[in-house]
A and B are shown apart, each in its own frame.
Chain A
Amino acid sequence: MDHEPLIFERSRPGRVGSNLPECDVPRANAEDLLGKENLRGKLPLPEVSELDVVRHFTRLSHRNYSIDTGFYPLGSCTMKYNPRINERTAALPGFASLHPLQPAETAQGALELIYLLQQHLAGICGMYTTTLQPSAGAHGELLSMMMIHAYHADRGDSKRNVVVIPDSAHGTNPASAASCGFKVKGIPSNSRGCTDLDALRAALGDDTAALMLTNPNTVGLFESDIVEICRLVHEAGGLVYCDGANMNAMLGLTRPGDMGFDVMHFNLHKTFSTPHGGGGPGCGAVSVKQLLEPYLPVPTVVKDAESGAYSFDHNRPKSIGKIHSFYGAFLIAVRAYTYIRALGPEGLRAVGENAVINANYVRSQLQDSYDVAYNSPICMHEVVLTASRQKQQSGVRALDISKRLMDYGIHPPTNYFPLIVPEALMIEPTETESKQTIDEFIKVMKQIAIEAVERPELLKGAPHVTPVSRLDETLAVKSLDLRYEPLFEDEG
Chain B
Amino acid sequence: MQRRGLTNNVAYISNTDTDRQEMLNAIGVDTFNELLAPIPPAIRWSGDLPVPPALDEHSLYRHLSSLASRNANAEQMLCFLGAGIYDHFRPAVVGALSSRGEFATAYTPYQPEMSQGMLQAIYEFQTMICGLTGMDLSNASMYDAATGLAEAALMAVHTTARDEVVVLNNIHPNYREVVKTYLRSASLKYVEVSPEEAVQSLNANTACVLTQSPDFFGCIQPLSDISTAVHAVGGLLVVESDPVALAMLKPPSQYDADVVVGEGQSLGNAMAFGGPLLGFFACKKKFVRSFPGRIVGGTVDLEGRRGYTMTLRTREQDIRREKATSNICTNQSLLALAATIYLSALGKNGLHRAADLSLQKAHYACSELCKLKGVSMIFPDRPFFKEFALRLPVIADVMNQQLLKHGIIGGLSLESYGPDLAYGWLLCVTETKTREDIDALVRAVDDILVKETC
Contact = CB atoms under 8 A, between A and B. Distances in A.
A340 interface: yes
A171 B319 contact: yes
A171 B130 contact: no
B54 A35 contact: no
Given A17-B350, A87-B99, A180-B186, A28 B174 contact: no
Contacts, number: 704
Contacts of B96: 54
A323 B116 CA distance: 33
Contact of A138 (B23, B42, B317): B317
B116 A138 contact: no
A324 B143 contact: yes
Contacts of B76: 93
B401 A103 contact: yes
A344 B123 contact: no
Contact of B317 (A89, A171, A431, A476): A171
Interface in A409-437: 411-412, 417, 431-437
Contacts of B27: 357, 360-361, 363-364
A152 to B, nearest CB: 13
Interface stretch (A58-66, A198-206, A448-456): A58-66
B54 A342 contact: yes
A294 interface: no
B12 A432 contact: yes
A66 B104 contact: yes
A391 interface: no
A95 B272 contact: yes
A325 B283 CA distance: 21
B324 interface: yes
A477 B311 contact: yes
Chain B residues touching A, range: 35 or more
A469 interface: yes
Given A74-B107, A96-B270, A342-B60, A325 B127 contact: no
A158 B55 CA distance: 49
A184 interface: yes
B295 to A, nearest CB: 6
B297 A481 contact: yes
Given A16-B349, A20-B89, A471-B112, A278 B337 contact: yes
Nearest to B250: A40
B159 interface: no
Nearest to B116: A63
Interface stretch (B3-11, B225-233, B372-380, B443-451): B3-11
Interface string B351-364: 11110110111011
A276 B296 contact: no
Interface string B77-113: 0010101110101010101111111111111110111
A227 B277 CA distance: 39
Contacts of B22: 435
Interface string A312-349: 00000000111111111111101001101111111111
Contacts of B346: 17-18, 20, 45
26 contacts: A30-B359, A35-B383, A50-B91, A64-B103, A64-B118, A72-B107, A88-B61, A91-B95, A97-B74, A97-B270, A102-B79, A106-B409, A108-B70, A112-B67, A174-B321, A184-B321, A275-B104, A280-B331, A280-B332, A281-B275, A283-B276, A325-B275, A356-B32, A358-B15, A406-B113, A481-B299
B228 to A, nearest CB: 15
Contacts of B130: 483, 488
B329 A171 contact: yes
A33 B359 CA distance: 8
B51 interface: yes
B199 interface: no
A468 B250 contact: no
B343 interface: yes
B259 interface: no
Contacts of A253: 36, 39, 44-45
